[in-house]
Amino acid sequence: MVTARFYDRLLKAPRRSFFLFGMRGTGKSTWARKTFPHALYFDLLDEGLFQSYLREPRLFGGELSRIPAGRTVVVDEVQRLPWLLNEVHRFIENRSLRFVLLGSSARKLKQAGTNLLAGRAVRRIMSPLLPRELDADFNLAEVLRFGSLPVIWTSPAKAESLDAYVQLYLKQEIQAEALVRNLPGFARFLPVAALFHGQVLNTSGLARDAGVARTTVTGYLEILSDTHLVWLLPAYEARLRVKERTHPKVYWVDAGIMRAVKREFHPPGELERGALLEGWVGALLKAYGEPGSGLGLQHDELFYWAPAEGGTEVDFLIRRGKEFSAVEVKARERLSAHDFKGLKAIAALKGLRRRVVVFLGERPYHTEDGIEALPVLDFLQELERQKI
């Protein structure tokens, strides 16, 4: 049984000012307080502090003016008062203060045309807990069922906590920040969007199933992306003498949240497990590509490949310089010849260094034409060794 505890995160803090974004519950605030124990901390979830700065924004600058030059300042939930970034900018320039700016969404910052510090602050993302962070507590079946958000993972009642998380997201992130005008419509859209996890984005189909306009769906998807619940995987447009698809794939960042919006808390069945495993591998690869992740591996770009002709597909295509690795994910213990079809089709891609199928078997092996079948734990080891 997993006991409530704090998991050390691998994220490395930049030496300069930075934004740290990530979905609610990833532990940004906990990490910041642990990493910067002597920093001056402004928590904008504190309603009294929020209201005082809302009425008198100059108070924030007044407090900063009393801080010695070179100190570190943490501002939590910075998206609640975007205009404070003008003062942040001023004090970076004039007093060399270092700012750690935490937020669960950049949407209000973008909507307000906010001063995003013009390159004076870099951007970092905090993901749900990764296998190396969970260490001995890592359990793939639990991750695929409940996700790995720290706030959920350490809960003694994960299903109830997931259900509460969805309600809190709708109340604090969507309603309180006025990100949509029609909250009931957005709430109805969420479970439909969850059904499209791991699929090529079909805005018209999603709009039809959700019963809303296509333009509304586009806006809703942007909200999910800006609040770091979903991410889009672009198609790779190689020139393999066929026409490739150009629409991105849609993935939810955390399997538990995706299932919770559908109110599914039971162990996933065989059909659902395929999309869940694919989504988890994709989120893992995405995390390994984030700068400053502390994972020791950075690839340049991540794609999927699926020619419009022939019905073949490769779930993930990783580019590092001029070299590529192709990764297919199968939630099966035994693989058939059909499971290697996509990797055979992409063999002609110039610079293709490695072709891998991640599966649920126990032993790795190679096919005659060089495709590798790697169990999940072997795949994780290869990531750690920077060989994928």
Note whether 133 and 9 are within 8 A (CB): yes
Residues 224 and 335 in one domain: no
Average pLDDT over residues 47-74: 94
Query: Does position 107 have pLDDT exceeding 80, yes or no?
Result: no
Q: Given pLDDT bands bounded at 50, 70 and 90, which one contains residue 241?
A: very low
C-alpha separations of 246 from 197, 249, 321, 372 in Å? 17, 10, 22, 27
Tokens 């950075």, residue located: 298
Domain match, 298 and 353 both = yes
Same domain? For 120 and 137 the reply is no
Report the pLDDT averaged over residues 140-165: 96
Confidence of residue 239 (pLDDT cuts 50, 70, 90): low
Q: Is residue 246 part of a domain?
A: no
Report the candidate in 160, 212, 159 with the shortest Cα–Cα distance to residue 182.
212
Going 41 to 47 to 53 to 54, the CA torsion angle's sign is positive
Residues 203 and 88 in one domain: no
Q: What's the CA angle centered on 313, arms 239 and 221, to 5 degrees?
A: 95
Q: Are 223 and 180 in contact (CB under 8 A)?
A: yes
Structure tokens at 20: 């740290």
Query: In angstroms, rounded to a whole number, what is the distance separating the alpha carbons of residues 40 and 29?
Result: 13
From 7-11, 147-151, 383-387, the region with the lowest mean pLDDT? 383-387
Neighbouring C-beta atoms of residue 12, cutoff 10 Å = 13
**Which amino acid is it at 265?**
F
Range of the domain at 309: 282-384
Q: What is the pLDDT of residues 253-273, one digit of tens each?
A: 999 999 999 999 999 998 899
Across 126-264, the runs of DSSP E, i.e. the strands, are 199-200, 230-233, 249-252
Distances (CA, A) of 22 to 34, 214, 317: 17, 27, 24
Decide which of 84, 110, 125 is a domain's last residue: 125
**340: which DSSP letter?**
G
Query: Residue 111 pLDDT more than 80?
Result: no
Q: Based on the domain organization, do 109 and 150 belong to the same domain?
A: no
Helix (H, G, I), strand (E, B) or coil at 95: helix
340 shares a domain with 378: yes
| Same domain, residue pair 27 and 112 | yes
Higher pLDDT, 176 or 288: 288
Please give the tally of structural domains in the chain. Answer: 3
Of the pLDDT bands very low, low, confident and very high (cuts 50, 70, 90), residue 311 is low
Q: What is the pLDDT of residue 246?
A: 73
Domain boundary among 98, 125, 152: 125
Q: Indicate whether 148 and 259 sit together in one domain.
A: yes
Same domain, 97 and 156: no
Position 387 confidence tier, pLDDT thresholds 50, 70, 90: confident
- Let me know: does 26 contact 126? Beta carbons within 8 Å: yes
Q: What is the CATH number of the domain that holds 302?
A: 3.40.1350
Per the listing, tokens 């999603």 go with: 206
Phi then psi dihedrals of residue 328, to 5 deg:
-115, 145
Kindly state whether residue 243 falls inside one of the protein's structural domains: no
* Residue range 357-382, pLDDT digits in tens: 999 999 999 999 999 999 999 999 99
Lowest mean pLDDT among 56-65, 180-189, 192-201, 318-327: 180-189
Tell me the mean pLDDT in the region 153-182. Answer: 85
- Reported as a pLDDT band with limits 50, 70 and 90, residue 242 is very low
Q: What token pair was written down for 354? A: 């490695």
Q: Is 230 helix (H, G, I), strand (E, B) or coil?
A: strand
Q: In terms of DSSP bridges, do strands 18-21 and 98-103 run parallel, antiparallel, or are they unpaired?
A: parallel
Please tell me the predicted confidence (pLDDT) of residue 245: 55
The Cα–Cα gap between 81 and 177 comes to: 10
DSSP-based three-state secondary structure for 173 = helix
Same domain (yes/no): 120, 136: no
Confirm if 183 and 195 have CB atoms less than 8 A apart: no
Does 241 map to a domain?
no
272 lies in some domain: no
Tell me, yes or no, whether 156 lies in a domain. yes
Determine, yes or no, domain membership for 269: no
Residue 233: how many CA atoms within 13 Å on its side-chain side?
29
Same domain, 119 and 162: no
Say how far apart CA 308 and CA 344 lie, in whole Å: 16
Quick one: pLDDT at residue 294? Answer: 76
Q: Is a pLDDT exceeding 70 seen at residue 232?
A: yes
This prediction has a pTM of 0.91
The CATH number of the domain holding residue 116 is 3.40.50.300
Instruction: Examine the pLDDT at 113 and tell me if it is beyond 60.
Output: no
pLDDT of 4 > 80? The answer is no
Give the residue with greater pLDDT, 220 vs 308.
220
Assign 103 to helix, strand or coil.
strand
- Spatial contact of 372 and 380, defined as CB atoms under 8 Å apart: no
Q: Which residues of 252-282 are buried (b: 16+ CB within 10 A; e: fewer)?
A: bbbbbbbbbbbebeeebeeebbbbbbbbbbb
Q: Are residues 93 and 210 in the same domain?
A: no
Residue 1: inside a domain? no
- 116 in a domain, yes or no? yes
- Boundary-marking domain end, from 103, 125, 147: 125
